[in-house]
Structure formats: structure tokens, C-alpha cells
Structure 1
Amino acid sequence: MSKFKKKKKGVPAVNTAALPDIVFMLLFFFMVTTTMRETNLLIDNPRLPSATEIKKLEHKSLVSTIYVGKAKDAKYGTGYNVIQLNDKIASPDDVPAFIFRERETVSEGEIPFMTTSIKADREASVGIITDIRLKLRDVNALKLSYSTNTGVE
């Protein structure tokens, strides 16, 4: 009989010391790269009109978006002429106040580069778009962009 007993050799345990570091690196990566949706749409996703000659907006932080389309809930209105500014349903008369609030969020030097984008459903009437354009003209928000889909349908 030997003085020392031999231990059974088996597979060594997996070293999990680095696991918390890896988990926190992944968590930090996804926190930094994820963008949160800024606006909850109260209207159905607009079916944008098609266009062939389009240009991509460069400074998206300087873009204020006005949505025009059909409301998801009937209490906001019917038809395709419902306007949404940020997270609330509005009328064309509320557009100037919306533009002034958007201008307060940027520095004074960036105000001339601000663009107003209209995302209107293809079934929206031209009258509501014209009303919005007239209100934008009243507050000197003359850089206007219409969102479209690429291609012709």
C-alpha cells in the first residue's frame, strides 16, 4: 500500500473569471450603439409617395419631422389629414409653436441649417400640406423636405 493515494484525473473546470468582463463589455457596446426611438407614432406608418430624383438628408439632428396621415385611434380624427408633431396630434395652427420649440433645442448658429421634413401619406390631401407650408413660411422655416420612397410604383 502506497503512502500517497493517487487522485483521479478528470477534465479540469472551466475558468469563468473573465466572464463578467465580457458580459459588461457587451452590455456597454449595446448601450452605446443603440438609438432609442424619439417619437411614438400616433398615426399609421405613412405610405410615402414614390420619387426618382431624391437626396438623402445629411444632418439628421437638425431635422424636425411633421407626420401627416391616418390616425391609429378614431378619437384623433378620421381620414388621412391628421398631423402629428413630436408625440401629440396637432392642427396646422400649432406648427409655428412647434418650430419655435425645435429652434430652442439647437444653438443659434445652427438655426439656418435646420430642415423641416414632412412625412405625408400618399393619400393625404394637398390642402393640409399647403396649410402646413403656409405656417412654415410665416415663421421663416423655408428649408423643407418631403420624405419619399425610392423608385416608381
Structure 2
Amino acid sequence: MNIITHIMILFGIMGLIAYIGYAVHKEEKMFEKVILIISAMTGFLIYFGARALGLSIPAMMMASVSVTNPIKMAVFSILIPWSVGIAVAWYFSWCLSKHIDIAFRVVILISAFIVTLFGDVYAASYTVEAGGGSIDTSLLPNLTFTVGMGLYIILNYKTR
């Protein structure tokens, strides 16, 4: 099961990268294509800028899964990432219901940020000592974020 989890996470990261590339490639207007590329690069740069300032989301996540208190673990590893996932999905839906150009730019920006975050958290999960040779609990924040975002989109987003 652990191997399948890793494969799914890696496919998810590659899928987000492919989505960003496809979204930029399919844009017909050259100026808008440049803006979408800038949006993607800005998403990456925001993440790396935060890291340069000492803000490490993976370090915070790994600290949350290493907590032994089940209540603190539930809050920091499940409820907060799940809530953030719902908030991101709501924001995506809200943006897409507004002006299409700006909404699409924001989706690309946040997607680039998320793919960078997921890659960083995935790499950081290997440094966490987990019982039984498993790293499943270190991936719990990513899992709950993705589930929160996915459920919100599945249950609330209406296509035009």
C-alpha cells in the first residue's frame, strides 16, 4: 500500500505540472500566455521566498505528525490542512465564477505554489522517523489537504 501511495503522490505532482504546462500551451493569445508563465513562476518564487525567510511549511507539517498528543495531531495534521484545502478550493471556485482571465491566472499561480509545496513536503517526509518502516503518517497533512480540496470541488463546483 505504501508503494501505491508514493506512486499516486508522484502522479499527482506530475499531473499538476502537466496541467500548468497544458494551460499555458493551449492559450492562444501570446500576451496572456506570457502572463500565465509569469503566474506559474510567481507561484514557485513565492514558495522559495518564504523558504529563504525561514518559513518552512514541510518543517511545520513534519513537526505536527511527530506530536504524540492525539488531539494536537488531529488539529495540526488533519483539521488545519483539511480546512486549508477547503479554503483553497472555495477560492478557486470563487475566482472561476468571476473574471475568467484573472481567475485563470490565480489558478495557475496557486497551482504552481501547491506543486512546489507538495514536492517539498514529499521530500521532507523521508526525514521523518516513522514506526514500522512506514512514512504514511508523515504524508497525513498532504492527504487531508487534498481530500478537503477534492471534496469541496466535487460537491460544490458547478460547471457552466
Normalising by structure 1, what TM-score? 0.30
Higher RCO structure, 1 or 2 (CA under 8 Å, sep 6+)? 2
Greater strand content: 1
Normalising by structure 2, what TM-score? 0.29
Greater helix content: 2
